[in-house]
């Protein structure tokens, strides 16, 4: 399963599941084409740890504002951060 298939499968299980997509390719290259689901953020590899933390913190603030108490684990698969 590639990153886009993983994103689609996660959203089928939990619509609105927040995703940060990370790749060594440029954002334009990764996002080209038709994708039924899109991530909330994109990080180009390599990225600074501070950039990663700030992105996670932004997600946490957005999740808190929606009142959701669900935990969203982050895993790594084939160069993509989910």
d(CA 19, CA 6): 10
Looking at the 3D structure of the chain, how many domains does it have? 1
* Full domain range(s) for residue 17: 3-81
User: What pTM was estimated for this model as a whole?
Assistant: 0.64
Read off the pLDDT band of 68 (50, 70, 90).
very low
Q: What is the pLDDT of residue 41?
A: 86
What is the rounded CA–CA span in Å between residue 36 and residue 5? 10
Q: What is the pLDDT of residues 1-45, one digit of tens each?
A: 888 898 999 999 998 888 888 899 999 999 999 988 898 888 889
């Amino acid at each position: 399963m590639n990153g886009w298939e993983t994103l689609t499968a996660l959203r089928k299980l939990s619509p609105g599941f927040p995703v940060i997509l990370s790749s060594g390719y440029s954002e334009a290259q990764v996002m080209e084409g038709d994708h039924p689901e899109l991530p909330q953020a994109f990080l180009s590899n390599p990225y600074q740890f501070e950039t990663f933390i700030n992105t996670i913190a932004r997600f946490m603030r957005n999740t808190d504002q929606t009142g959701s108490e669900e935990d969203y684990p982050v895993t790594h698969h084939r160069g993509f951060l989910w």
